[in-house]
Amino acid sequence: MIPTSQQFDVIVVGMGPAGSSVAFELSRAGVSVLGLEKQTHPRYKVCGGGLSARIEQYLPTDFKSVVEEEVHRLHFTYGPEESYVIDSEKPFVYMVMRSRFDQWLVHHAQVAGTEVHQNETVTRLKALPEGVEVETDKGRYFSRVVVGADGALSVVAQQLFPGRRLQKVPALESEILFGEMNLGAGQPDTQLRRYANVAIISLNAAKKGYGWIFPKHHGLSIGVGEFVRGDSRPKRSFQQFIQEDPNLSGYVVPPPVGHPLPICNGYADKKGQRWNGGLVHTHALLVSDAGHLVDPLLGEGILYAVRSGQLAATTIVDYLHNTNRHLEAYEEAIIQELGPEFRIASRLNKVVYGIPRSWHRWVGRTFPVSYQGLLRRYCGMLQSHETYRTLWARMMLKLQGPFATASKRADLS
Ligand SMILES: Cc1cc2nc3c(=O)[nH]c(=O)nc-3n(C[C@H](O)[C@H](O)[C@H](O)COP(=O)(O)OP(=O)(O)OC[C@H]3O[C@@H](n4cnc5c(N)ncnc54)[C@H](O)[C@@H]3O)c2cc1C
């Protein structure tokens, strides 16, 4: 028998980075929040756990207490012979294990005042004139607003956003541990430890995507993602990727676990359109993966989880306090802040994954300085020195060469 409903201002479904961020901000603003999470933290989450350094501006500084490694070197490879190394004194990426990072975020939300029910699964949502009724395997609740932060397979999106059918691409990952496990395979782990502070991005690993090796304190996260839907075979790509890496040969790599990646691959190119599939419907908002807010070039999602959670919270606080405000302001904020960036990332997705790998090799060999320069700029974006827009403008400037106008050059200098 399901108990009768308890009431909250806001119910957040899913307490990953997006849910915890929105809950934290709302609780800090004095809103009553219930966070419902079907698992119990700390829980394993299939994820590379790479946070681009620009996330610093959105997280409290003590997030570094859960950082496993700082990456100061990015190593891009296109095959055994082509590789580009970009170094920086400041970190490009912070590496986290999602179990620790997500637990830390949930804890912050709880300290701020969020009531969190773990091990409780949302099963049904019903839109009512004044809010939403949320049913779980343990109870029934009512809130004025519901936030869908329940990831790529969002039940909130399925039930409250009918007809929303968006693409997801396949990604998978395995964790290889230093020490014990690999000693079991008769190998010392010295070769693996060479990857400390280095992140490997291999465009050779997948047909229309890339493979990664990310360093963690206790081991390495190794994965492959296909960023264009089609006849992808990520498991086969993964096996090939680990077999081709000389430093991994002979080590035990556990079978990878797959998870869909809801990249934003169709965001409106025309001004004035809604975000792909819509992010607001009556009293419900979708954030992060549930709203397909994943960077379509490299699949970065955690930054956008935190940021979309913050933007959603700002809108909700405004809406709860002022009757003339509307929740659509959240979608407008996303379109304004992320729209232009994701639009260019979508274009780059087509350029990077659409052209054959042999062309990349040819361009890299023929224009090594420009190619390396472009990669360096991309890495600068991870540190907030560039945006997708400035990166794209620089690419266009290079293509226009002497025909580029002086004003365009001045804009980017
Ligand atoms: C293989 C792979 C590698 C990746 N690597 C990176 C990376 O290196 N860097 C990066 O930035 N991004 C990466 N991503 C993307 C990143 O993992 C996601 O974008 C991010 O986890 C989104 O956060 P979220 O809070 O929206 O969803 P999630 O992290 O998926 O959290 C959703 C939460 O909702 C809960 N939930 C789901 N359904 C219900 C329900 N019915 N009731 C209650 N709770 C529910 C889940 O248990 C979960 O805890 C990767 C993704 C994949 C698949």
381, with CB counted inside 10 A (0-12, 13-18, 19+), is middle
**Percent of the chain residues topping a pLDDT of 70:** 91
Per-residue pLDDT at 342: 93
Q: How much is the average pLDDT of 292-296? A: 94
Number of the ligand 1 atom closest to the C-alpha atom of 19:
25
Per-residue pLDDT at 79: 74
pLDDT-derived band at 277 (thresholds 50, 70, 90) equals confident
CA separation for the pair 95, 208 (Å, rounded): 24
CA distances to 111, 264, 328, 360, 401 from 6, rounded to whole Å, are 21, 35, 26, 57, 64
Structure tokens, 218: 């206790």
Number of the ligand 1 atom closest to the C-alpha atom of 136:
42
- Residue 149 Cα to ligand 1 midpoint, Å, equals 9
Q: Is the CB of 173 under 6 A from ligand 1?
A: yes
CA separation for the pair 129, 144 (Å, rounded): 9
Query: What average pLDDT does the chain have?
Result: 89
AA letter at 123: T
- Residue 382 Cα to ligand 1 midpoint, Å, equals 20
Closest alpha carbon to 371 in 362, 358, 384, 380: 362
Q: For the chain, give me the number of helices (H) and strands (E)?
A: 13, 18
- Residue 48 Cα to ligand 1 midpoint, Å, equals 11
Q: Whose CA is nearest to atom 37 of ligand 1?
A: 150
Q: Is the CB of 221 under 6 A from ligand 1?
A: no
CA separation for the pair 344, 347 (Å, rounded): 5
CA separation for the pair 227, 234 (Å, rounded): 11
pLDDT-derived band at 276 (thresholds 50, 70, 90) equals confident
Q: What share of the chain is helix, strand, coil (3-state, %, to 5)?
A: 40, 25, 35
Other beta carbons within 10 Å of 37: 25
Q: With contact defined as beta carbons under 8 Å apart, do 21 and 309 qualify?
A: yes
Q: Can the peptide bond before residue 296 be classed as cis, meaning omega within 30 degrees of 0? A: no
Per-residue pLDDT at 271: 57
pLDDT-derived band at 273 (thresholds 50, 70, 90) equals low
- Residue 100 Cα to ligand 1 midpoint, Å, equals 14
Per-residue pLDDT at 1: 47
Report pLDDT digits (tens) over 15-64: 999 999 999 999 999 999 999 999 999 999 999 999 999 999 999 989 99
Query: Which carries the bigger pLDDT value, residue 195 or residue 260?
Result: 260
Q: With contact defined as beta carbons under 8 Å apart, do 192 and 220 qualify?
A: yes
**Percent of the chain residues topping a pLDDT of 90:** 64
Domain ranges of the chain: 6-49+97-164+272-337, 357-412
Q: Is the CB of 283 under 6 A from ligand 1?
A: no
Report pLDDT digits (tens) over 223-242: 999 988 777 788 999 998 99
Q: Is the CB of 36 under 6 A from ligand 1?
A: yes
Q: Whose CA is nearest to atom 21 of ligand 1?
A: 302
Strands 209-215 and 198-202: antiparallel
Residue 404: pLDDT over 70: no
Residue 270: pLDDT over 60: no
Q: Is the CB of 151 under 6 A from ligand 1?
A: yes
Report pLDDT digits (tens) over 89-111: 999 999 999 999 999 999 999 99
Q: Is the CB of 122 under 6 A from ligand 1?
A: yes
- Residue 152 Cα to ligand 1 midpoint, Å, equals 7
Strands 284-286 and 140-148: parallel
State phi, psi for 8 to the nearest 5 degrees: -140, 160
Element (H, E) at 93: strand 93-95
Q: How much is the average pLDDT of 68-72? A: 95
Q: With contact defined as beta carbons under 8 Å apart, do 147 and 287 qualify?
A: yes
Q: Is the CB of 288 under 6 A from ligand 1?
A: yes
Domain 6-49+97-164+272-337 has CATH 3.40.50.720: no
Closest alpha carbon to 393 in 328, 341, 355: 341
Q: How much is the average pLDDT of 379-388? A: 94
Structure tokens, 386: 């560039």
Element (H, E) at 408: helix 406-412
Q: Is the CB of 105 under 6 A from ligand 1?
A: no
